[in-house]
Structures are given as C-alpha cells and as structure tokens.
Amino acid sequence: MARLNSFWTRYRRNRPAVAGLAIVLVVIVLGLAAPLLYPGDPWAIVAQPFLWPGEAHAPVLGTDVLGRDIASGILHGARVSLRVGLFSALFAGLIGTIIGSLAGYYAGWVDDVLMRVTEAFQTVPSFLTALIIVALFKPSVLTIIVAISIVSWPAVARLVRAETLRLRGSDFVAACATFGMSDIRIIVTQILPNCLAPLIVMVSIMIASAILIEAGLSFLGLNDPSQLSWGTMIATGRDALRSAWYMSAIPGLAILVTVVGINLVSEGLNDALNPNLRQRQS
C-alpha cells in the first residue's frame, strides 16, 4: 500500500499525465456506458442524412450520409478501439516477454536464433504486415487483434532481453541458482518482476499504436462488418468531406484525443515508475 501511495504521489506531480488519465477514464466510461446511453443499433438510421451538429431535430453530433447517429457511433466505436488496443498490447507483451526473457537468460545460440526471428519481423513495416494478415483471413475483431499482436511484439522482446541480460549476472540470481531454483522459476519470480516498470510503459504505448493501426485498417475496409469503429466512420464520411467535413472530423478527433491521452499516461508512468531517470535528465 505504501508503494502504491508513493507511486500515485509521483504520478500526480505530472499534470499532463493526470490530464491524460482523466481523458482515458472518460473514454472508458463512455465506451462502457454506450449500451445504456445508446441502446439501439449504431448502424440504424435514426434521422435525415447530413444533419449537422446543433441543427434542428438533429442528434447531438449530427448524422452521417445515411442518417445514422454519429454520437452513437462514437461511443460504440470506443468499445471496439479500446478492446483492440488493450488485448493487442497484452498479447504482444506476453509474446515479447517470453521470447525476450528466454533470449536474454540463456544467451548463446538461443539468443541468436530468437533475435534473428525478431529482426525478421522488424524488417517488414508493421502496418503492411497487419494489413496482409487481416486480408488473408476473414476480417474480425479477433483477426485484427492477432494481426496487431504479431507485428507489435518485437519491441517488447528487445526491451525484456536487454533487461534480462542486465539482471542475469546479479548476485540474487546467482544465489537462486545455487539454491537449486529452476531456470523458469528464476525468470518468472526474480527477473521479470524487475522488468515490470519499463514493460508497463511499453505496453501503454502499444495500446495507442494498436488503436491507430485498427483505425487505419478500418478506414481501408478491413474491419469487422458487424462492429462500427472510428476508422469506419472516417471512411464513410470521406466522400462528403467538402460538404460535411464533420462526419470524418468527429471520429478523427476521438482517435486523436484518445491516443494523446494514452501517450500522456505512458509518460506519467515512465516518470512515476522510474523517478531516477527524470533526475538524471534534469
């Protein structure tokens, strides 16, 4: 409890990070409340098309080219973006942690093989690889999560490998090996907990990146046809960009605000979890 209080004390000193946390919490709450605030189908036509926000008889954020409620789409789209971002980052973090810890702990030929595989994934552009994977299979939320996870894990693997290489020669690791503790147990109970701080920061950054990749795929039409996402809304409004720019601007602003909020949170986590880093930089 004392560590948690100390962490929060350091975190709240960073006002942009607190603002970012507030933004992220608002997006999460609105996404969770979407079925209550807008219980109907977000794809349903509710009014006349091309109603601007604030116009008479228009929904709060207006309607799109087909007469669908943009506010309903924004809230329901938040659920898709947050789900894809969170699960993609978690799965990528898990894959990268396993590969990075094994490469760093065993070194030698194990490190060479795993790092060559990691480099092979890093040589291909992430968005292009994700696009190919989703195009080869049926586009769905699960497919998008898997595709983003596959292209995102190398950065985590390199981070965990570097931390593991630094820690594997420590006295406490040598003591655990002397007492007969297995390699897997040493990695899980001794090394990985000491890698947790930079790993949390990395995963938080990956959530924002995953949201952007998902929006890009949805904009290109490689999205789950049963799920309305922010990228889909931007693509729907691009044909009316000159006459009704709000259709693309509103979901675009939602993406921008969410990603900025997550990035501010990641910076705050970096400062709070690594207070010595900020002292060295100042």
pLDDT in tens, 151-170: 999 999 999 999 999 888 88
Joined together, the tokens standing for residue 119 give 């480099």
CA angle 90, 234, 92 (to 5 degrees): 10
pLDDT at 274: 73
pTM: 0.91
* % of the chain surpassing 90 pLDDT: 60
Q: b vs e for 136-152, b when ≥16 Cβ sit within 10 Å of the residue's Cβ?
A: eeebebebbbbbbbbbb
**Structural domain count, the chain:** 1
Specify the 3-state DSSP secondary structure of 45.
strand
pLDDT tier, 2 (very low <50, low <70, confident <90, very high otherwise):
low
Across the range 210-233, mean pLDDT stands at 91
Chain-centroid distance, C-alpha 209 = 5
pLDDT at 281: 40
122, pLDDT greater than 70: yes
Chain-centroid distance, C-alpha 51 = 33
pLDDT tier, 198 (very low <50, low <70, confident <90, very high otherwise):
confident
275, pLDDT greater than 90: no
Select from 41, 65, 14 the least CA-distant residue to 236: 65
- Helices (H), ranges, 38-138: 70-106, 108-122, 126-136
Mean pLDDT across the chain, nearest whole number? Answer: 89
CA atoms lying within 13 Å on the CB side of residue 109? 0
Across the range 255-278, mean pLDDT stands at 84
pLDDT tier, 243 (very low <50, low <70, confident <90, very high otherwise):
confident
Tell me the β-bridge partners of 63: 69
Parent domain of 99: 2-281
pLDDT at 1: 67
pLDDT at 282: 42
pLDDT at 110: 92
Q: Is 274 exposed, middle or buried (0-12, 13-18, 19+ CB in 10 A)?
A: middle
Q: Each residue of 47-85: pLDDT tens digit? A: 899 999 988 888 899 999 999 999 999 999 999 999 999
pLDDT at 240: 87
- Please identify which residue in the block is written with the tokens 């933004």: 23
Joined together, the tokens standing for residue 84 give 């894809």
The CATH number of whichever domain residue 93 belongs to comes to 1.10.3720.10
128, pLDDT greater than 70: yes
